[in-house]
Structure 1
Amino acid sequence: MRSGFAAFPLSPAVQSLLLQQGFQQPTPVQEATIPLFCGNTDVCVDACTGSGKTLAFVLPVVERLRRLEAPLRNNQVGAVIVSPTRELARQIFDVAKPFVATVAWLQAALLVGGTDAAADVDAFKRFGGHVLVGTPGRLDDIMQRCTSMDLRTVEVLVLDEADRLLDMGFRAQLDAIMRRLPRQRRTGLFSATQTDAVEALARAGLRNPVRVNVAVTAALSGRIRGHDHWVSSHAPTDMVQRTPNTLRIQYVVCDPTQKLPQLVAFLQEHVNQKVIVYFLTCACVDFASVVLPRLPQCTSMRIWALHGRMKQTVRGATLAAFAGAPAGILLCTDVAARGLDIPDVHWIVQYDPPQDPSAFVHRVGRTARMGRSGDAVVYLLPHEITYVEFLKVRKIPLQQTALAGELPQVQAELQRHAETDRLVMEAGMKAFLSYVRAYKEHHCKFIFRLQDLSLGQLATSFALLRLPRMPEIKGYRSFDFVPSVVDPESVRFKDKAREKQRQAALRQRRLQGQAGVAQPDRRRQQATLVPEVHLPAAKRRKMQEKNDLDELQRDYSLLRKFNKGKLSAAEFEAATLEGEVQ
């Protein structure tokens, strides 16, 4: 009896390529999915991250197109693979390319944002693209622009990370793409976390689907719970977990001011390994990428930063550099949490728990992939300890680990840099503001409560010289924060060119300020004349929350204008003071 990939309905060319690439035995998700998807069956696959889902749909796509009675013309499309992020789409494209090349006439095309859409249209017209791999927005855009593209020949549609596609608001683009495709096609939905929205999409877009549910049990990592027609299997639920058994997840409880010393001590201990560190916001990533290389304990470390506000070329180069390095540290947001297969990642550090709890599984899934072992740790503040039980309910086991024995003294060094380099000072202020805003909008509000957050310690951890005026701080009396004796206005950029530009902008604003005085806002004056209306307590609380958020956004906008040189220090002070009084 044949075993392994040889038991599947795959061509000799694909079988040979699998052996060349070192694939000896299929993973459970591949074993359950490939025979179904190669046949006339739609599938909805639910399997933990790192289980080999990409090959589970790439191989059936190639085999179905190989079996066509006649080769497709250049303008005809045979398969569409949709991914939520550019990085994941490029990774899928790279995995698929060698298998696509086993069919002489087959061409694959990558369609993602960050590049010239007109160039993509021109490339399709010249070279064709029988297998389209891309993000929803760019795929929808190219399908509209390229009138010569023939989608009537599409045999297979794959939605990878289907839950994320819906969470990111791509439903309209997905509906537009699916409307253009023929009904007589095979469709596959793949994700590590199936949601009600994914199931609704599956019922609407799949024909007689088979659900493949591959879960991990305490007895055997990667054991197949079963696949069926939307009927749950009967494995004991207390034995099932959402992460591989080869992955050990730990948690550390520490104060905000201990987080950075904890991270530095951890990085020193694992300096010869690959580590991915996840932060809550892009500004927090920027702050860490500015600060860590300046600390004497980290000067010899290779550090990269990656988040969604970077240009696509920078993101691609950063990811490629980290993937190719034998050791190093990647500081990132959840833009690098889904599906990316970065080789030999030893540790995942969650400096901040994710805003969306479903991202936790995807973050830790960057290690312990394809049966390998891996480790992860998450830093929790004392009031966030309930998050451990919350994760255990979601079948994600965690173990507590002790604080590092002797923490490096980095706070004084960090403060010195903030008082002498405006780049560090401004990075800390932006990170603080973005962190507070993101924390306030956390999906698990019953655990991550802003009123439980020590804003003073948080401000210290970001090396703030002064506390900003913002709604969250009003009425808060026990800050546990000592302002710096250094005047923030006196702090200069160490980069002489940037400081020269800042000084020129300050002089220009002074001249403009002397030319005239801004008129008071009449709408605000009139608003004070409106008689007070007595509202129910619940309505007042809701209005207060909205007003607080609006004021926080206003202060954040003022800070951005100030940093860009659009407001002088005096104008910024007056504007924020006006908000404080009102």
Structure 2
Amino acid sequence: MASSSSPSPATAAARKRALTEQRFSDLTPALSPEVVEALDRGGFRRCTPVQAATIPLLLSHKDVAVDAATGSGKTLAFVVPVVEMLRRLPSPPKPHQVLGIIISPTRELSSQIYNVAQPFFATLKGVSSILLVGGLDIRVELEKVEKEGANILVGTPGKLFDIMERLDTLEYKHLEILILDEADRLLDMGFQKQVTSIISKLPKLRRTGLFSATQTEAVEELAKAGLRNPVRVQVKIEANDAAQQDLGPSKTPLGLRLEYMICEPAKKSSQLVDFLVQNTGKKIMVYFATCACVDYWSVVLPMLNLLKGSPVIAYHGKMKQGPREKALASFSSLSSGILVCTDVAARGLDIPHVDLIVQYDPPQDPNVFVHRAGRTARYDQEGDAIVFLLPTEDAYVDFLKLRGVPLMERVCSPDIVDIVPQIRAAALEDRNIMEKGLRAFVSFVRSYKEHHCSFIFRWKGLEVGKLAMEYGLLQIPSMPEVKHNNLSLKGFFPLGNIDFSQIKFKDKIREKQRQKALKRKAEELANEPPVPEKRIPRERPDKPKRKQTGKQRQTIQTKEDMDELTNEYRLLKKLKRGVIDEDEYEKLTGFGGSDGEGSDGDAAGKGKGKERRSKEQKKLKQRGGKTGGRRFEIKSKLKSKRR
């Protein structure tokens, strides 16, 4: 259903039928024959609800803010109006006049939009387009744009912002239309500054389309700043059975069947493998929490006897651009296989004929749940999605139900093959598997700690021991989250006395590098100078042993010196008052003996006396710092008195 208000159920159903039965050739204003022909060649004859609602609005010079479920055909909903608006220009544009800009959050989505739009851009004579995404040499792109120009820019906000800042040759005053796709994610990924800067360089008299699967406060603010009196288009799916009628409109595609499975922690990975075996021959996407988890399971799953023969492809955000594009193209071309991935593959990607979505780890952000599931059941097709939950996470089902995402329970298989012994045996034979497992486990625990729904996913309640068994670990890693929070280690079964340093890489080159590193480290330790032994203080038999720090010893010494100094002042005062004479004073203070000045003040005597005084002053200062210097003052006063 597409609307800007809330009609009655009967009206909504009638409008939904009208929109889904409408052909592109029947739209008003009418599309040009060239565009209709390009749609027919691509197999697009009937409009989806979002296309039937949005295309006429944009072509009638209205700004639109579109809120539509994933997989509803948003790309054609803005590509067709962009092409039609540029076709209606009275004359071909100059090479450096920018007429249309399409911004999306990721490289993959921008590339996908560009590829979908190419057959339609080809119908425009004298109009050039360019894809601007990260991962390419900026100097080459700058040179190309400066030399050839471009009338339509498709790309990510970071790269578009960079190009617009560096180049003065492009003109934006004739811009006809701006499209912001996946606007909520544009803002979630921290692109608000770049998007705002791009909008500030564009003319206000333009058409703007804001497309998003979820409307957030930030998207609303962006709509206020970038759109002029926009028409709000909401496309929601009506519930398709009586049990879901009371939930109202669903946020998931009509042909999508959603399920959940409650698994014990130590058996979760075995349940996953059993489920994949049951669905052999299908095209499946399996979502994990982190890149390290994807790396680990992409190595473990292919080596399991039960899954041998099923292609497993890894896809995550830390892969370089080339391997990422290759992985996506490989999976897209498969008729059956498994893509293990992170949320980088959750939104915008239109991978053909995906049969099943498995959310092994629920997403940190609950909004992403629908986007993950929406990779299947696209364009009125059918598909299945399932999420694996721990017994402590069952409240997530009710949470999603309140958000318009109802799930049906699927019971765990009672008879499953325990894959943990096979994983642990492989880890004992290959250090690569052991290390990848440790990294995956650590990254999972830390990801779980940052979950947005922490009231459901309570990381301090994690049964770490059982989860470690799920990952087939040989040991539980030493990490602060486990060490300082008393997480349960119950359920972990160590394999006895194993020297983990002796586990080798199967890859001979990596093992050779590891042995070199170990040898180098051993040599460095052998060549290090011996650590000097700490001086043990002399023990006094009449006092109990007590370890004193340097600061404590210094404090004791200073106290003794101050007592001695106080006594010397007291005796000096008695000497001045005549209570004692000089001989008694010298006896009591220990200042007696030759001072080295000579008896008659001759030069030699004075020289020797000066030297001795200097030595005495130095000695006193070394003995007590300021206190020693003060003692020298007292002695000098006494000598002055004598003279």
Among candidates 100, 104, 115, match of residue 79 of structure 1: 100
Structure 1: how far apart are the matches of 2:124 and 2:66?
A: 26
For residues 81 and 498 of structure 1, do their structure 2 counterparts lie closer, same or farther at Cα, with a shift above 3 Å needed? Answer: same
Matched, 1:452 2:447: no
Task: Give the root-mean-square deviation of aligned CA atoms.
Answer: 2.1
Spell out the pairing of 1:251-330 with structure 2 (5 A cutoff): 251-330=260-339
Structure 1: state its 5+ residue gaps.
Answer: 222-235, 520-525, 530-582
Structure 2: how far apart are the matches of 1:517 and 1:49?
A: 65
User: 1:27 corresponds to which residue?
Assistant: 48
SS of the aligned residue for 1:241 comes to coil
Q: Is the Cα contact below 8 Å between 2:261 and 2:409 reproduced in 1?
A: yes
User: 1:503 corresponds to which residue?
Assistant: 515
Among candidates 172, 175, 182, match of residue 203 of structure 2: 182
1:387 positional shift:
0.3
Partner amino acid, structure 2, of 1:294: M
Matched, 1:481 2:492: yes
Alignment deviations for residues 371-419 of structure 1 (CA, whole Å, 9 cap, x no partner): 0000000000110000000101110010000112421231110010111
SS of the aligned residue for 2:466 comes to helix
Matched, 1:89 2:101: no
Q: Is the Cα contact below 8 Å between 1:88 and 1:339 reproduced in 2?
A: yes
Structure 1: how far apart are the matches of 2:60 and 2:230?
A: 12
Structure 1: how far apart are the matches of 2:455 and 2:241?
A: 34
Structure 1: how far apart are the matches of 2:487 and 2:283?
A: 41
Alignment deviations for residues 297-324 of structure 1 (CA, whole Å, 9 cap, x no partner): 1220111000000000110111011111
SS of the aligned residue for 1:30 comes to helix
Structure 2: state its 5+ residue gaps.
Answer: 1-17, 532-548, 553-643
User: 1:359 corresponds to which residue?
Assistant: 368
Structure 1: how far apart are the matches of 2:337 and 2:88?
A: 44
Matched, 1:416 2:425: yes
Structure 1: how far apart are the matches of 2:477 and 2:414?
A: 34
1:3 positional shift:
4.7
Partner amino acid, structure 1, of 2:503: V
User: 2:219 corresponds to which residue?
Assistant: 198
Question: Greater RCO between the two (CA within 8 Å, min separation 6)?
Answer: 1
Structure 1: how far apart are the matches of 2:344 and 2:277?
A: 25
Among candidates 23, 35, 51, match of residue 4 of structure 1: 23
User: 1:159 corresponds to which residue?
Assistant: 180
User: 2:125 corresponds to which residue?
Assistant: 104
Identity %: 51
Structure 2: how far apart are the matches of 1:385 and 1:127?
A: 57
Partner amino acid, structure 1, of 2:224: R
User: 2:253 corresponds to which residue?
Assistant: 244
Structure 1: how far apart are the matches of 2:83 and 2:228?
A: 21
Structure 2: how far apart are the matches of 1:507 and 1:157?
A: 60
Q: Is the Cα contact below 8 Å between 1:220 and 1:245 reproduced in 2?
A: no
User: 1:491 corresponds to which residue?
Assistant: 503
Matched, 1:213 2:234: yes
SS of the aligned residue for 2:232 comes to strand
TM-score (normalizing by structure 2): 0.76
Alignment deviations for residues 519-550 of structure 1 (CA, whole Å, 9 cap, x no partner): 9xxxxxx9xx9xxxxxxxxxxxxxxxxxxxxx
For residues 56 and 171 of structure 1, do their structure 2 counterparts lie closer, same or farther at Cα, with a shift above 3 Å needed? Answer: same
Higher deviation after alignment, 51-60 or 8-17 = 8-17
SS of the aligned residue for 1:240 comes to coil
Higher deviation after alignment, 19-28 or 384-393 = 19-28
1:196 positional shift:
1.2
1:53 positional shift:
0.4
TM-score (normalizing by structure 1): 0.84
Structure 2: how far apart are the matches of 1:122 and 1:70?
A: 26
For residues 518 and 451 of structure 1, do their structure 2 counterparts lie closer, same or farther at Cα, with a shift above 3 Å needed? Answer: farther
Q: Is the Cα contact below 8 Å between 1:261 and 1:410 reproduced in 2?
A: yes
Structure 1: how far apart are the matches of 2:412 and 2:131?
A: 45
SS of the aligned residue for 2:495 comes to coil
For residues 518 and 318 of structure 1, do their structure 2 counterparts lie closer, same or farther at Cα, with a shift above 3 Å needed? Answer: farther
Structure 2: how far apart are the matches of 1:251 and 1:369?
A: 20
User: 1:425 corresponds to which residue?
Assistant: 434
Partner amino acid, structure 1, of 2:109: L
Partner amino acid, structure 2, of 1:438: S
Alignment deviations for residues 259-304 of structure 1 (CA, whole Å, 9 cap, x no partner): 2211211222222110000000000000101111111112201110
User: 1:379 corresponds to which residue?
Assistant: 388
Among candidates 3, 10, 14, match of residue 35 of structure 2: 14
1:70 positional shift:
1.9
Among candidates 118, 131, 136, match of residue 152 of structure 2: 131
Higher deviation after alignment, 62-71 or 204-213 = 62-71
1:122 positional shift:
2.0
Q: Is the Cα contact below 8 Å between 2:464 and 2:489 reproduced in 1?
A: no
Structure 2: how far apart are the matches of 1:152 and 1:477?
A: 63
Alignment deviations for residues 199-219 of structure 1 (CA, whole Å, 9 cap, x no partner): 111011100111101111125
1:478 positional shift:
4.4
Structure 2: how far apart are the matches of 1:476 and 1:416?
A: 26
Matched, 1:465 2:474: yes
1:517 positional shift:
7.2
Matched, 1:65 2:94: no
Partner amino acid, structure 1, of 2:40: L
User: 2:163 corresponds to which residue?
Assistant: 142
1:336 positional shift:
0.4
